[in-house]
Structure 1
Amino acid sequence: MKINFYTLFFYLFFFSKTFSGELVIKILNIEEKIGSLHFAIYDNPKNFPEEEGKKIGFKKTVSDIINDEVIINNLEESKYAVAIYHDENDNNRFDTILAIPQEKFGFSNDAKVFFGPPSFDEASFFLKKNERLKIEISLR
């Protein structure tokens, strides 16, 4: 029984790493090296870009980001969209005044914003298994 458990563990570990993708996000236009960048990665169009619907969410201190790049490992093959914002005052909120953003933000594919966020299709890209995909997001 121990051999079967260890064999199963090995296969699960090996195949989970072997068939996963890596996403490299290059952030353009970081003007101030203060605060944090908040990242949200979505794989479902119905949830984009809602706070509760993200697949992965995390924040990084801007001063800790090397070469303005963030790497996300072990992503499954899927269609994704990314939203980020620069929380310069580090209050963990996307600050707006009268629904006008006061902090810089961006979406994958540099999807344009017209009176609201872009659609999932406008911001999405496909990550294949075993692929290392580099995308650029311009903060505006």
Structure 2
Amino acid sequence: MTVSRRFAACLVAASAALCAGFTTEPRTAGPLTLEIACAEGAEGRIAVAVFEEGAGFPDAEEAKATRRVRPAGPVTRVVFSDLPPGRYSVAVFHDADENGRLTLWPVGLPREAYGFSNNARGRFGPPRFEQAAFTLGADGARQAIRLH
């Protein structure tokens, strides 16, 4: 084998070794831990929707991930462990009547308790994505959300 062929073979082997460490799959960030405070003795379910980069916020049908859990005392903990790194926001509501949607009064105001990451509040409706946004990285993120 000539020197140029040996060199080319080494380059191919080195490239294969380097590429083996790379994947097209998105990296997974650390866990997103939500601590949701709601009324003591709350019944029904807590509905959680996680949005990436503001896509569809706060419409749950557009969420990156969702969960519905039973309240577990005054603070309910929900963990998402399979999200890629990025900017996220969270919308939560207490689905007391378990109808799967935020129940409104006839005048359009929420009848059930709700909240957002960063405890963001909107003036006449939900907050903007940027108000509720946080970064989820390799170390994960924790959000304490109080339902109003």
TM-score, structure 2 normalization:
0.75
Alpha carbons of structure 1 residues 74 and 114: separation in structure 2 relative to 1, 3 Å: same
Gap change, CA 1:100 and 1:19, over 3 Å in 2: closer
| Number of the residue aligned with 1:71 | 79
Q: Which has the higher strand share?
A: 1
Deviations along 1:59-105, one digit per CA (max 9) or x if unpaired, are 11224x79521111121110000000001111112100121100000
Percent of aligned pairs with the same residue? Answer: 29
1:102 corresponds in structure 2 to 111
Partner of 1:5: none
Letter of the aligned partner of 1:117 in structure 2? P
What does 1:93-132 correspond to in 2, within 5 Å?
Answer: 93-97=101-105, 98-129=107-138, 131-132=139-140
Q: Work out the CA distance in 2 between the residues paired with 1:66 and 1:29.
A: 6
Deviations 1:1-45 (A, max 9, x none): xxxxxxx8xx97xx87x7432011011233333100000000032
5+ residue gaps, structure 1, are 1-7
- Which secondary structure does the structure 2 equivalent of 1:100 belong to? coil
Name the structure where helix makes up a greater proportion of residues. 1
Would you say the 8 A contact 2:29–2:140 is kept in 1?
no
3-state secondary structure, aligned to 1:91: coil
Larger radius of gyration: 2
Q: Distance in 1 between matches of 2:55 and 2:81?
A: 24
Match of 1:133 in 2: 141
Distance of 1:127 and 1:44 partners within structure 2: 11
Whether contact under 8 Å (2:39, 2:74) holds in the other structure is: no
Q: Which residue of 1 aligns with 2:16?
A: none
Aligned counterpart, 1:52: 61
* Greater relative CO (CA pairs within 8 A, separation 6+): 1
Consecutive unaligned residues of structure 2, counting only runs of 5 or more, are 1-19
> 1:112, 1:49 → 2: CA distance?
12
